[in-house]
Structure 1
């Protein structure tokens, strides 16, 4: 109770062997494992085939074996109806984020750096850089059927997966007269702005900003104590050949 009253508490995870064992498992050299971990950190559910698990802590044949073990150990939550897994809470998500920074594989290091740069570009209002990186993530890692705003949202969550150092992510946040697609709230004492992100499929990024303003999404976070950036991201699969399909518009909200 004193910890709550004094606002002085934190996770003890990193002081246990749990964090070390997590890093060991996600460092295993299986194709697709590093990418999957970044997706999980970003908040994306991933399909897992649990059938081939050998039911021990040492025999791993592929990515699914590792993920199945993490489910058994409680690092991941499994949904039987969709045969998919996700990280169950913020505490474990932060430990995944810390652990992945210790992984020495080149592709994992690149993903971490690109995600951190994307957040910096967003905060700095670099619309071209943001759109370019979202396009890159889409081309590299998107599902085959990229045909709605939910698929676009998953790409956004993959792209911003390193947010956990500075932000807490909220999806479908009740705000104004609607629901904001994705909101990143800066952690306590962070100088970073709130990011209110609206996604548009086959519409313009400007229309995304219009919706944020018209439906008064910033009302939900205007008393948070930080600046607010409105971020509109759109995808047009019918864009002319040679032109980027993703667009981004960023503006500061005047309170």
Structure 2
């Protein structure tokens, strides 16, 4: 009878290795080994569903589980090659005779490599492993009953190996670990999958959540018989009061550090799979090395990977790979199409390199079924997306529209409370969606975006209802306002701004605050290609709103000045006289000055607009 909890060995991992779509991530073990038996030996890695959490847990269990006979499953894997390379390096160094004593840095580096090699040898099948999937105990039961089931399961499995175990279920769980250590003289590695099941499944039951966290606090106490704790789930750790969970090193979708390239499939790994399973790949595809050292494939006609666009762009149109090639089919199984559909998670590692990550489950299904389609919607997290994007915290719905239109939103991930209910602002909702895999977080710019076409389709499904139609209409109007502004069509700008002003709170319509809100609403679509600054000090006054094009945008920068009960011409004079353009010295060759006035005394709430191109030669 197999032991699935105590030293389960390599049985589960063999199923993964035997898969034709197996991707070798065993070099992760090399990184984990560095943390064994040090203060930072408590590790929690969180990532979305179907990103390989359980596979990693099974891999570590196969590697560390005690066995009289060493497993051979890793002999031809990356971790063995890593060891072999280090071993050859040391042998080569030793054969060279004396070490150059003046090169102290090389000497230290060689010692470190030797130490790392020893650790890899030492830890293979050297620990007592306890592997638990918390979903088995707590998803449908009370916390008390779940704890009892968990204890009994561990006891039953341990007694299959240790016949003289004296531990009673009435004792604390750490007493069990202490007895195992005393009897076997081997330290324990604890591997926990779905750590956050109670936080997610019982999200409104605060009492159960606290009881569960209290249990984890005792379960994972820092003891010398613990060599390593590896815990995984979707949500980051929830910590209440004084807790042993504070000892964990967390690696998440917003801060993956050295775990970044192990979160999902890298571009290089997907290319290998495509070469293996897709016949007649386009030989004309060109590869170009990116900054992160991974290859991307560029389209032979426009030298660019086509990004997803507005809803209309998702309608498949006839395209050709080149002038005399066959018709391009976005549903055809190919590396290009897989990249467009399932890539897009940009994670920053511990050396500040950006690693491009694919959704493993979707890539494997696409290759196996030979179909490019949405495989994400089979995930149980879909209900979360539908629920949370309908919460209109601080204009969250407006931002969702912007994201669907391939925009980015700046957020603060630090306010999120690591659960499913404690939201204080839209940033918390967006951060949760990052952890669920529905958004990608740009750590360098603190921005979120929709990662790829597959996830975009999920958002479109959730927003395909009447209550979203007005928001999409407003966004289209905003795009039009930006367009006619850049075309100097002042009458059209005034007309469309007046429509946007009508969307402002009627109680504040005749106030300056409502006018400013209306302008922000009117130019909301500009957030896709512009950085927006409010009330920038020019030294002589404040420009109401400044729009600075992002690096990917070649359109003009522009300054918007708002006037109330005056005239747009007076607003334009104020922009010039107070030298608002002084803060945009790098854009003076491509800068527009925009003044908009609202006069409440004018019939039909008339707005006026004046637009001029900045003349750097004109003296003020």
For this structure pair, what is the TM-score category when the shorter chain's length is used for normalisation?
Answer: 0.5 to 0.7
For residue 555 of structure 2, give the secondary structure of its aligned residue in structure 1. coil
Given the two structures, how large is their TM-score scaled by the length of structure 2? 0.29
The number of residue pairs the alignment matches comes to 210
Change (3 A) 1:70 1:210: closer
Q: Which residue is equivalent to 1:37?
A: 397
Structure 1, unaligned stretches of length 5 or more? 1-7, 43-54, 58-64, 77-88
Three-state SS of the structure 2 residue aligned to 1:203 is coil
Partner of 2:592: 229
Q: Kindly report which structure 2 residues correspond to 1:43-62, keeping only aligned pairs within 5 A, or say none.
A: none
Q: 1:72 to 1:217 in 2, by over 3 A?
A: closer
- Structure 1 residue 222 displacement after superposition: 2.7
Equivalent in 471, 474, 478 of residue 111 of structure 1 = 474
> Structure 1's 246 and 56: CA in aligned 2 closer, same or farther, altered over 3 A?
same
Can you list the C-alpha shifts for 1:147-175, whole angstroms capped at 9, x where unaligned? 43232111111111111211000011122
Q: d(CA) in 2 for partners of 1:12 and 1:113?
A: 28
Gaps of 5+ in 2: 1-290, 293-343, 348-355, 360-380, 408-418, 433-443
- Structure 1 residue aligned with 2:518: 155
Quote the residue 1:210 is aligned against: 573
Q: Give how far 1:176 is off.
A: 4.7
- Indicate the residue corresponding to 1:251 in structure 2: 612
Contact 1:26 1:34 in 2 (8 A): no
Determine the C-alpha separation between the residues in 1 that align with 2:554 and 2:584: 15
Deviating more after overlay: 195-204 vs 131-140: 131-140
**Partner of residue 550 from structure 2, selected from 187, 195, 200:** 187
Work out the CA distance in 2 between the residues paired with 1:162 and 1:228: 19
Q: Is the 1:34–1:107 contact (alpha carbons within 8 Å) kept by the matching residues of 2?
A: no
Q: Secondary structure at the match of 2:602?
A: coil
The alpha-carbon deviation at position 112 of structure 1 amounts to 1.8
The higher relative CO (CA closer than 8 Å, separation ≥ 6) is in 1
Q: Distance in 2 between matches of 1:173 and 1:125?
A: 23
RMSD: 4.0
> Which residues in structure 2 correspond to 1:19-168 (within 5 Å)?
24-25=386-387, 28=390, 37-38=397-398, 70=426, 72-73=428-429, 75=431, 91-92=446-447, 102=460, 103-104=463-464, 105-168=468-531
Shift of 1:109: 2.1
Q: How far apart, in 1, do the equivalents of 2:519 and 2:429 lie?
A: 28
- Deviation readout 1:212-240 (Å, 9 max, x if unpaired): 00001112103236511100011111103
Q: 2: distance between equivalents of 1:69 and 1:33? A: 6
Q: Which residue of 2 aligns with 1:197?
A: 560
Contact 1:94–1:165 under 8 Å retained in 2: no
Q: 1:26 to 1:165 in 2, by over 3 A?
A: farther
Superimposed CA distance per residue, residues 180-221 of structure 1 (whole angstroms, 9 cap, x where no aligned partner): 110000011421101100000111011110000000111210
> For the residues of structure 2 that align with 1:184 and 1:172, how far apart are their CA atoms?
11
Cα distance, 1:244 vs structure 2: 4.4
TM-score by length of 1: 0.66
Query: Which structure is larger by alpha-carbon Rg, 1 or 2?
Result: 2
- 1: distance between equivalents of 2:555 and 2:472? 24
Q: In the superposition, relative to structure 1, how do residues 24 and 68 fare at CA in structure 2: closer, same or farther (>3 Å)?
A: farther
Distance 1:220 1:33, change over 3 A: closer
Q: Is the 8 A contact 1:205 1:248 kept in 2?
A: yes
Separation in 2, partners of 1:12, 1:74: 16
